[in-house]
Amino acid sequence: MLLFVGLGNPGREYEANRHNIGFMAIEAIAREARAAPFRRRFHGEATEATIGEERVILLKPLTYMNESGRSVGEAARFLKIPVGDIVVFHDELDLAPGKLRMKTGGGAAGHNGLRSIAQHMGAEFRRVRMGIGHPGVKDLVHAYVLNDFGKGERDWVATLCDLVARNAGLLAAGADAKFQNKVHLGMEAAGFSDVKRPGAA
């Protein structure tokens, strides 16, 4: 059994925020896998799906970003899922918008959701880093991630989440490099190989 976790903040006011792209990815995976509706569990919302050959729990922590580890830790302990079988989908400031990179372990790079999970579970979980770009100035980061994706960004966001969902079987099989490549090629084919950050020249 695997645990796929999307990071975000609960509440309608946060739904379309850049910080919530992890929630968007998990919801897309649930739709693609025809999972049952999410229900309240583990200080979050969870459902179960068969993805590829694997049984996968899909989880959206409802603890707010800074306490994501509380939800992930409870789910992992209850379900006896080791840290290496946890896959976390999150926004990544250090990647250009629309880019996706896989990583296992490492630091939190200022991401409070990742930091919280590492505190509860250790850092050796798999990360699906979904690029949203950087506003260019550190002082602007907080407002940037808690702002909604703009109209001009919504197409690439939807395409990226769709590609993540359609290729999630590769993640479930542990083929992280192949998954990353499939998403990259899909974004390229859709015309999103060079997405500019809002306001960038």
pTM: 0.96
| Alpha-carbon radius of gyration of the chain | 15
pLDDT of residue 110: 86
Contact 58, 46 (CB under 8 A): yes
Distance CA 140, CA 137 (A): 6
Question: Exposed e or buried b for every residue in 117-131, given b needs 16+ CB within 10 A?
Answer: bbebbebebbbbbbb
- State the chain's mean pLDDT as an integer: 95
Tell me the domains of the chain and their CATH numbers: 2-189 (3.40.50.1470)
What value does the mean pLDDT take over residues 24-32? 98
pLDDT per residue over 129-154, tens digit each?
Answer: 999 999 989 999 999 999 999 999 99
> For residue 104, what are the CA distances in angstroms to 20, 121, 154, 158, 171?
21, 13, 28, 25, 12
pLDDT of residue 117: 97
pLDDT of residue 199: 60
Contact 118, 76 (CB under 8 A): no
Which sequence positions are flagged as catalytic? 19
pLDDT band for position 7 (cuts 50, 70, 90): very high
pLDDT per residue over 33-89, tens digit each?
Answer: 999 999 999 999 999 999 999 999 999 999 999 999 999 999 999 999 999 999 999
pLDDT of residue 160: 98
pLDDT band for position 198 (cuts 50, 70, 90): low
